[in-house]
Amino acid sequence: MTLLSVNHLSVQIAGRPLVSDVSFDIQQGEWLAIIGQSGSGKSVTASAIGHLLAPNLTASGEALYMGENLLEFSAKKMRRLRGTSISYVFQDYQGSFTPFHTIGRHFDEFLKTHFRLPKRERRNRAERALESVGLKAEMYGRYPFQLSGGQLQRSSIALALLAKPDLLIVDEPTAALDSISAFKVLRLLADLQQETGCAMLFITHDLRHVRKHADQIIVMKQGAIVEQGDKESVLDRPQHPYTQSLIAASPSLSEASDLLRGGGSVCHYCN
């Protein structure tokens, strides 16, 4: 069943196109990856879906969710949907947390905004969410600066999944992490997707992660889709010269795994 249908999406700034005539569907439970170099329009496309564009950008077209065009939603209606039915995990995971509030305070404010729950139940839900991403419940009382980069990214994933969304939009979630942490976070996302059944719109330039996890792939260049299809078709039999160049420039997943094994020791998250 189609969860989100994007039709002829375009984004402009002062009349100049940033994204042009982008169309794709995401099925329930599917992992759809958007790949391309920096500036190809990947993040702008994802931001347009959730009304997260800068004020000087304008979007047109359709992003149909449950039969309704998200681009026509009021800001208030979109805020109710964003974080509950559609959630985001951003590259700048540190920006998801105010440094003067504990991790638990962020979770509590989210739950108070979207649900009518007593204080004890809110804390219980937050602690269970942290534990679901491999963190100890004690992280609830810590401040963002007391967590490592990997722990903060895991916390942001737990926060994004707190309301069990239908669609998780993940924008370069491992760009600021070391290789080992990146593979752990991607494995975590894959496990959580299997557990929750949510669909994933995954934005990245790293084809190793795409080959390991994606079902469908969209290739973008200069704001337009140049190729799309299932993972095997796009990565093993690319048709567009741009896709071919991306694949030629990317180390294989097997090479990345060999590096992470570090002289023979097996990395659980690479297998």
Q: DSSP of 20-85, one letter per residue?
A: EEEEEEEETT-EEEEE-STTSSHHHHHHHHTT-S-TTEEEEEEEEETTEEGGGS-HHHHHHHBTTT
Among the residue ranges 43-47, 64-68, 80-84, 117-121, the one predicted with the least confidence is 80-84
Helix (H) or strand (E) holding 130: helix 119-132
Contacts of 6 (CB under 8 A, 6+ apart): 22, 23, 24, 25, 45, 49, 61, 62, 63, 64
In a 13 Å sphere around the CA of 180, the CA atoms on its Cβ side amount to 8
Cα separations in angstroms, 12 against 4, 25, 50: 22, 22, 16
Segment 167-192 mean pLDDT: 83
Instruction: Tell me the C-alpha distance between 157 and 168, whole Å.
Output: 10
The predicted pLDDT at position 21 comes to 97
The full set of domains in the chain, from first to last, is 2-85+165-270 (3.40.50.300), 99-162 (no CATH)
Segment 156-172 mean pLDDT: 90
Segment 106-115 mean pLDDT: 91
Among the residue ranges 6-10, 79-83, 201-205, 245-249, the one predicted with the least confidence is 79-83
Which tokens sit at 160?
């994004």
Q: Work out the pLDDT band at 257, boundaries 50, 70, 90.
A: very low
Q: What is the pTM of this model?
A: 0.85
Q: By the 8 A CB rule, do 227 and 240 touch? A: yes
Instruction: Tell me the C-alpha distance between 214 and 201, whole Å.
Output: 9
Asked whether residue 92 carries a pLDDT value surpassing 70, the answer given is: yes
Segment 242-261 mean pLDDT: 66
Asked whether residue 174 carries a pLDDT value surpassing 80, the answer given is: no
- The two beta strands, 57-65 and 2-13, are antiparallel
The predicted pLDDT at position 182 comes to 78
Q: Work out the pLDDT band at 214, boundaries 50, 70, 90.
A: very high
Counted residue by residue, the chain has a size of: 271
